[in-house]
Amino acid sequence: MLLRLAVALLMLVPASAGSAAQPQRPSPLKSGIEFVSAEIRALQRDDFANPGMLWVARGEKLWSAGSGGNGKPCAGCHGNAAGSMKGVAARYPAIEPGAARLVNLEGRINLCRVRHQQAEAFKHESEELLALTAYAAHQSRGMPMNVTVDWQNRGHFERGQALYRRRMGQMNLACLHCHQHNWGKTLLAETISQGHGNAYPAYRLEWQAVGSLQRRVRACYFGVRAEMPDYGAPELLDLELYLAWRAGGLPVETPGVRR
């Protein structure tokens, strides 16, 4: 009887410890740029050599060019992006009031495409969408990531946090096993970063192109041999929100350069 009680108590402890898990930021908070080589840091710092700036330049052209639909350009409503887009990327993903759902910056641009430009939404990871996202996010460069959790997005945030801690794939690993518990250690030839998204859309040498944060997160799913969610899947958005909160205070670096 006593033994049974002890077993029951033991079973209770991890369960209550699990549900009381507080969202955690790594300490000290370090951007991914601190985990790459000096050469890559130099590449990101040089606004001309940084290959991501080519996407930003393309985005700048698209910003003032009406493409498809009613021919209205982004600049028609938003004017000069340097002013109107300043700080916007730092507070995304956010709840879109009209759509009553969580959208990231890419999703917000596509909502504008459909609603105000009466054009077709850009495809996920299309050159145009990456260029416009990189251009819009670039206007917040240097500003601290600043996502707040409130009653509107709390459900998404908690789902994102749960996903961050959930073991998955054949490797049976959760995000936190690498990026919370083991950052700074090496995984073969690479140093594990804290896994922040503050540089995205970013140019990855592996891709030889600019890609979204979702593309990078999907690569992690692949790495732990889990099934990759589709681009734009709700679970990726929830995770993006949690990651944005977790990177809170780190400066936006778009377009970052990464391995």
Span from 15-23, 48-56, 222-230, 242-250 in contact with another protein (CB under 8 A): 48-56
For residues 11-21, b (16+ Cβ closer than 10 Å) or e, as one string? eeeeeeeeeee
d(C-alpha 164, C-alpha 200), whole Å? 19
User: Between residue 197 and residue 216, which ones bind another protein under the rule CB under 8 A?
Assistant: 208-209
d(C-alpha 133, C-alpha 201), whole Å? 7
Q: Is 54 in the site for another protein (CB under 8 A)?
A: yes
Shortest separation between residue 205's beta carbon and another protein, angstroms: 8
Q: Is 49 in the site for another protein (CB under 8 A)?
A: yes
Shortest separation between residue 82's beta carbon and another protein, angstroms: 18
Shortest separation between residue 203's beta carbon and another protein, angstroms: 8
Backbone phi, psi, residue 203, to 5°: -90, 120
d(C-alpha 229, C-alpha 44), whole Å? 29
Q: Is 135 in the site for another protein (CB under 8 A)?
A: no
Q: Tokens representing 183?
A: 């950052």
Q: Is 12 in the site for another protein (CB under 8 A)?
A: no
Q: Is 219 in the site for another protein (CB under 8 A)?
A: no
Q: Tokens representing 91?
A: 């507070």
Rg (CA), the chain: 20
- Is 220 assigned a catalytic role? yes
- Residues labelled as active-site residues: 220
- Positions touching another protein (CB under 8 A) are 48-49, 51, 53-55, 57-58, 61, 208-209
